[in-house]
Chain A
Amino acid sequence: MKLENFELAGGLRKEQIDYMHEKAMWLIETSGIQVPHEGVLKLMADHNGVTIDGEMVRFKPDLVQKAMAAAVYDVPEYYKRGKWFMSAGAHQTACYDLDTGKLKQASADDLVKFIKLGDALDTVGSAPVVPMDVPGHLQHILMHKAAWENSRYRCNDIFEHMDKPSYECANYVYEMAQAAGKRFTFGIWMISPKSFDAHNLDVAFRLRDKGIPMWLATMPQAGVTAPITILGTVLQSMYEHFAGLTVLYLMNPKGNNYISPNDAFEANTFSMKYTTFVYGSVEYVQHSLHQIALCKYYDLPIIVKSLLTSSQEPDAHAAAEMGIHTLIAGLAGARAFRCGGLLSTGEIYSGEWVVILDEMLQYIRNVLKEEEFSEERLMIQDIIDVGPGGTYVDKNSTYEMFRKEYWMPQLFEHSNLGQWIELGQKSIRQQAREIAQKLVAEHSYEIDRDVKKELDRIYERAKQDKALEKSLKLEI
């Protein structure tokens, strides 16, 4: 018989989420959200259940429910299989150099290396770093291009959340996606409390005829753009998500509109001491557990930002926060974990850290693995057979079972002190860097050559495009 799997009990109950849901609906109907875009306001004006007052828009609950019911979450096969995986990177601009270990600005070379490293470890998600040595207007295009050329999963399913900072940029990325047969979506980030970035909204508005999927996200900060309590911030997040999704539903009827699982019901914590927002804190973990409960309740895919830390280095601080956060999220039912490689609350990317995280995920999987309970496995006869002074080392059962009963870590070695000294006293960080370098060197995936040629051609055209350059200069 199988032992019951370990899982987490406690936390938000159904009736408590029911209550929060009602409150969120009430807030949408009575307070509404600001939609700072004439075109979008006009599109929504004639819909039943929409009330517009200046730029403030309110929705009837049944309309919100409709938008929620219409959302399709096209999760990839590996998610459906329940595979444990890591989404790594979220376009960082600084990184630890994979050769020297020094902190520096990310380059196009780093972008490719980190994508290859991530691919070797089956990671998914967005492009890990921004190529800061490339002109601003080409950065996001190159990030998509490099991701598609060098990896299987990157920027290619619901777990990506790549920016397209201007309409012109979005069009280039869209063209590349069509050429490469890759995923293209457009995401809208709300500006808490209760508003949007007008430019972001305008790009979505102009893309609405393409019939592309659009997603909605918001990241309220407890005590700054949302209430100080985690539950209050989660409630505001629910309210903004549902209201924002309804805007997308009405604005983009030709495409699928959904809540981005990457930041679903996000509620960020803020340090009043350092006046900075904080990932990996105790309160952020508590928020993640609420987030998982809500995703289960609303039947959304679960992916948790548990790989985050406020630590600046891939050290003990980082590992403690990530390990505890990820294990408790895993116990709560998560199998997808986000923001691998990120340090300093998302400011730095580290290849070594990705390797260490991969090891930590293996560790967790082994802690939580299924196990058989039987009298045979209690091995009573062996206990009777081996008397005082005897040993089990030479028993058949030991020989037959020692490999499968025990996980053999690649990085978290079990050597003793003397052995470690003999092996050169390498730090974990050194060992992780060596593994990362090896994985990059041995990485072999590349996109079909004809597709690559086509992507190169589009990229070359983008380089010469003055309108594209201008579209992003205005933003900067």
Chain B
Amino acid sequence: MMLHAYTLAGGLRPEQIDLMRDKAIELVETVGLHIPHEGLLNRLHGINGVTIDKTSQMVKFRTDLVIKAIQEMRFPLPDYYEDGWVISAGAHQTKILDMDTGKIRETTHKDLVEMIKIGDALDTVGSAPVVPMDVPIQLQEIMMHKVAWENSRRRANDMFEHDPKPTVRCAEYIYEMSKIADKWFALGLYMVSPRSFDVVELEIIDKFLDKGVPMWAGTMPIMGVNSPITEKAGIQQAMFETYACLTMLNLLNTKSYNYIQIIDSFIAHPFDMKYSTFVYGSAEDVRATVDKLSIHKHLKMPLAAKSLLTAAKEVDAQCAAEVGMYTLMAALAGAKEFRCGGLLTSAEVYAAEKLVLDYEIVQYIKNVLEPEEFSDEMLLFDAIAKIKPGESFLEHPSTFKHYRTLYWDPNVFLHSNLGQWQEMGSKSFVQIANERAKKLLKEHAYEIEPEKKRELDRIYEIAAKDEALAKERQY
């Protein structure tokens, strides 16, 4: 018999979540959201249950439309999701901790390739980790997709990605590449809290409505800034905004399916009034994530958490404390995917050493929570009865049988004692993690089929010469 698996009890109860959901839907119907795009307003005009105030561009959706949108959303989960313990690494950072010098600097195309390879070696998913800042701005996102697809199995290739497509033309190039490479393509719509959108993002949505691509709704209100100061109220606003956005997409994007972004949806982020900066990895951020997971579980949505985030500037004790405790809470609350691997300083910096740490932490927690077998074989009381004072279990058959399988052998959380550590060179944790990252990079072997790569190269070359693309980004 197995011991009961460890889980988190407490927190939001189903009836409290239902109350928040009902309030959110009510706000969509009575308060509405701002859609600053004539084309989309025209498309919505005349739909039964949609009320538009042309002057203020405020749009309200009747409750049945919201419920319909919720019922029709679809989460195209990849196969690996069910097994859990997935890390999504990076979120297009523009700064990196240099693997050779240890200094923080701007990211390059070389970093993009290397970080994708290291991430792939650790089975990570998600978006491109860094932005190639040495590439012309209009080509950066195209390059991010191209490199991700060329050098990894899962990157930018399922619903866990959220790579930006900042202009219509850029989105079109990426769409074309995805067709050629047979890769994932979806368009995301982040709301601008409170209750509005970025006009350019709406324009891209408008232009892609005929293509039949999946679209998702996301929002990231900041508590005390663009949402109320309490965490629950922040989440309340996020639910309202997400449902409103989803309903709009459901009415407009009828040729494909729409869904709620599983990370940036029913969550609000804390803001530090002392430093006037938003904060990832704080105690309040953890609580918000646990609430979000409770809501997702109750509403039968996928379970993911941005638990690999930290406000720490280095791969240090603060960083590991925040990530470790955050991820444990998320895992106990049922999260299957852990996001923002490799990120430091509230997502300003990417570090390969941090990703190695994140991976180790996730493995550590996975092993802690692995249910133990409770049986006479595991209690070994016959062996205890027979052993005599002064004797040892070292040579007992059960020791030989179990010592490899029952104990986790860590990659970087070494169990050496002081003398052994000194003999091995007194290496710091960052050095150990750095060496592991370099080894993973060296040994990484995956690459896309040559003919697909040639096609991607060809499209990229066209984009590189496309003056309209460059001009569009300048705007």
Q: Do A and B bind each other?
A: yes
Q: Which A residues have a C-beta under 8 Å from some C-beta of B?
A: 3-13, 16, 20, 23, 26-27, 30-31, 33-34, 94, 191, 193-195, 223-232, 235-236, 239, 269, 271-274, 276, 278, 281-283, 285-286, 289, 310-324, 327-328, 331, 344-345, 347-348, 356, 359-360, 363-364, 366-367, 371, 373, 375, 377-380, 382-384, 386-393, 395, 397-398, 401-402, 405-409, 411-417, 419-420, 425, 427-429, 432
Taking a contact as CB atoms under 8 Å apart, the answer to whether A416 and B393 are in contact is no
| Complex CA distance for A23 and B382, rounded to whole angstroms | 10
Task: For residue A325, give the distance in angstroms from its CB to the closest CB of chain B.
Answer: 8
B109 in the interface (beta carbon within 8 A): no
Number of B positions contacting A (CB below 8 A): 125
Interface residues of B in 369-400 (CB under 8 A from A): 371-372, 374, 378-381, 383-385, 387-394, 396, 398-399
| Complex CA distance for A417 and B314, rounded to whole angstroms | 10
Taking a contact as CB atoms under 8 Å apart, the answer to whether A317 and B412 are in contact is yes
B279 in the interface (beta carbon within 8 A): yes
| Complex CA distance for A347 and B314, rounded to whole angstroms | 26
Q: Which of B104, B316, B402, B420 contacts A315, CB < 8 Å? A: B316
Q: Which of A383, A397, A416 contacts B237, CB < 8 Å? A: A383
Taking a contact as CB atoms under 8 Å apart, the answer to whether B380 and A367 are in contact is no
The answer to whether A231 and B393 touch (CB under 8 A), given A6-B8, A9-B7, A407-B283, is no
Interface residues of B in 81-123 (CB under 8 A from A): 95, 104
Task: For residue B380, give the distance in angstroms from its CB to the closest CB of chain A.
Answer: 4
Taking a contact as CB atoms under 8 Å apart, the answer to whether B314 and A323 are in contact is no
Q: Which B residues have a C-beta under 8 Å from some C-beta of A?
A: 3-13, 16, 19-20, 23, 27, 30-31, 33-34, 95, 104, 192, 194-196, 223-233, 236-237, 240, 270, 272-275, 277, 279, 282-284, 286-287, 290, 311-325, 328-329, 332, 345-346, 348-349, 357, 360-361, 364-365, 367-368, 371-372, 374, 378-381, 383-385, 387-394, 396, 398-399, 401-403, 406-410, 412-418, 420-421, 426, 428-430, 433
| Complex CA distance for A428 and B314, rounded to whole angstroms | 9
Taking a contact as CB atoms under 8 Å apart, the answer to whether A23 and B379 are in contact is yes
Can you offer 10 A-B residue contacts whose CB atoms are under 8 A? A232-B378, A276-B416, A316-B319, A316-B433, A320-B413, A324-B325, A366-B284, A380-B23, A387-B195, A401-B229
| Complex CA distance for A386 and B226, rounded to whole angstroms | 8
Q: Closest chain B residue to A230 by CB distance?
A: B372
Q: Which of B320, B345, B387, B402 contacts A319, CB < 8 Å? A: B320
| Complex CA distance for A377 and B287, rounded to whole angstroms | 15
| Complex CA distance for A67 and B430, rounded to whole angstroms | 51
Q: Closest chain B residue to A3 by CB distance?
A: B11
Chain B residues contacting A388 (CB-CB under 8 Å) are: 33-34, 192, 194-196
Taking a contact as CB atoms under 8 Å apart, the answer to whether B325 and A363 are in contact is yes
Q: Closest chain A residue to B240 by CB distance?
A: A383
Q: Closest chain A residue to B386 by CB distance?
A: A31
| Complex CA distance for A392 and B4, rounded to whole angstroms | 45
Taking a contact as CB atoms under 8 Å apart, the answer to whether A408 and B274 are in contact is yes
Taking a contact as CB atoms under 8 Å apart, the answer to whether A319 and B324 are in contact is yes
Taking a contact as CB atoms under 8 Å apart, the answer to whether B4 and A10 are in contact is yes
Taking a contact as CB atoms under 8 Å apart, the answer to whether A315 and B372 are in contact is no
Q: Closest chain B residue to A390 by CB distance?
A: B194
| Complex CA distance for A33 and B390, rounded to whole angstroms | 11
The answer to whether A419 and B374 touch (CB under 8 A), given A27-B385, A319-B317, is no
Chain B residues contacting A236 (CB-CB under 8 Å) are: 384
Taking a contact as CB atoms under 8 Å apart, the answer to whether B402 and A12 are in contact is no
Task: For residue A109, give the distance in angstroms from its CB to the closest CB of chain B.
Answer: 22
The answer to whether A274 and B415 touch (CB under 8 A), given A229-B402, A405-B284, A417-B348, is yes
Q: Which of B317, B357, B364, B418 contacts A312, CB < 8 Å? A: B418
Taking a contact as CB atoms under 8 Å apart, the answer to whether B385 and A30 are in contact is yes
Taking a contact as CB atoms under 8 Å apart, the answer to whether A4 and B384 are in contact is no
Taking a contact as CB atoms under 8 Å apart, the answer to whether B406 and A276 are in contact is no
Taking a contact as CB atoms under 8 Å apart, the answer to whether A272 and B325 are in contact is no
Q: Closest chain A residue to B416 by CB distance?
A: A274
Taking a contact as CB atoms under 8 Å apart, the answer to whether B283 and A272 are in contact is no
Task: For residue A342, give the distance in angstroms from its CB to the closest CB of chain B.
Answer: 12
Q: Closest chain B residue to A278 by CB distance?
A: B415
Q: Which of B13, B318, B325 contacts A428, CB < 8 Å? A: B318
Task: For residue A188, give the distance in angstroms from its CB to the closest CB of chain B.
Answer: 15
Taking a contact as CB atoms under 8 Å apart, the answer to whether B231 and A405 are in contact is yes
Task: For residue B308, give the distance in angstroms from its CB to the closest CB of chain A.
Answer: 12
The answer to whether A323 and B325 touch (CB under 8 A), given A94-B418, A386-B194, A420-B313, is yes
Taking a contact as CB atoms under 8 Å apart, the answer to whether B379 and A235 are in contact is yes
Task: For residue B170, give the distance in angstroms from its CB to the closest CB of chain A.
Answer: 26
Q: Closest chain B residue to A196 by CB distance?
A: B389
| Complex CA distance for A278 and B421, rounded to whole angstroms | 14
Taking a contact as CB atoms under 8 Å apart, the answer to whether B415 and A406 are in contact is no
Task: For residue A43, give the distance in angstroms from its CB to the closest CB of chain B.
Answer: 20
